[in-house]
């Protein structure tokens, strides 16, 4: 699975070398630091609090685990697959998970994108904090046993840990999706004419995300429905944050437009032309 990231790294590096000979490209993004830095910090704070609450979860007693019945505790769609447990898959998923965080900084190899390092960093942290806060607060307040709890080969020490209640929802693939799809969206916005590159980057992002989801599945960390919820959330945040920051040129023929503002007051204006 680490070859997915090697592929992504090689693809980006080769294309960045080609871009370095291109003419200067104007930034497609705008960031209102007075509004967005506080929002970003709030998101980071919520994420931190959520993970703190997750760490405070108490584990289940062995007798409780032994009395659990898959047919009674798990919905039908998740019972189609035999619960599994694999420590190797768990470790491999962690490698992909942590390797995804620095991936967006590879775009700084390109001269045009590097000029926007500051605003892109804010956008990326916004995307991560949005995904992180959504996941951590969900996992902190929803106790759902992981599939490994029902697996025969999983040790009781794993089943009785507080972390065995964090099945809802798939955080690893969600955050991996946010990072990798953020890269694909940003590069596509800087170089909209390079459709072949867009396909390559979005494909690499999808493969990385699905690869991480598969590892979490066979590791016994999440049910299928947990992954079906986590992946779209991560993809949406990775794409939506850059999309919301795109420069909006004034166009009176456009029916709908929006803009963030700050000064004596902060807010969002929406305009619809009838």
pLDDT tens sequence across 222-258: 999 999 999 999 999 999 999 999 987 544 445 555 6
The mean of the pLDDT values for the chain is 85
Q: What is the pLDDT of residue 111?
A: 84
Domain ranges in the chain? 29-247+257-272
Residue 4: phi, psi to the nearest 5?
Answer: -60, -45
* 133 pLDDT above the threshold of 90: yes
């Amino acid at each position: 699975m680490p070859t997915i990231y090697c592929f992504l790294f090689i693809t980006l590096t080769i294309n960045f070398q080609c871009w370095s000979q291109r003419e200067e490209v104007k930034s497609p993004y705008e960031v209102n630091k007075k509004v967005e830095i506080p929002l970003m910090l709030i998101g980071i704070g919520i994420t931190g609090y959520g993970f703190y609450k997750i760490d405070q979860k108490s584990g289940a007693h062995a007798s409780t685990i032994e009395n659990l019945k898959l047919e009674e505790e798990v919905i039908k769609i998740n019972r189609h697959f035999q619960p599994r447990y694999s420590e190797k898959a768990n470790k491999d998923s962690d490698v992909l998970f942590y390797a995804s965080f620095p991936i967006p900084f590879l775009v700084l190899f390109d001269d045009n994108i590097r000029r926007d390092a500051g605003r892109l960093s804010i956008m990326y942290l916004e995307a991560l904090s949005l995904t992180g806060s959504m996941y951590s607060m969900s996992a902190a307040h929803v106790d759902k046993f992981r599939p490994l709890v029902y697996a025969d080969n999983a040790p009781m020490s794993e089943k009785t840990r507080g972390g065995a209640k964090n099945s809802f929802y798939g955080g690893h693939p969600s955050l991996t999706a946010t990072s990798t799809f953020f890269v694909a969206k940003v590069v596509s916005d800087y170089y909209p004419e390079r459709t072949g590159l867009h396909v390559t980057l979005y494909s690499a992002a999808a493969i990385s995300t699905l690869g991480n989801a598969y590892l979490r599945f066979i590791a016994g960390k999440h049910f299928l429905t947990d992954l079906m919820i986590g992946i779209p959330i991560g993809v949406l945040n990775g794409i939506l944050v850059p999309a919301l920051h795109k420069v909006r040129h004034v166009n009176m023929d456009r029916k709908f437009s929006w803009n963030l503002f700050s000064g004596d007051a902060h807010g969002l204006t929406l305009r619809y032309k009838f």
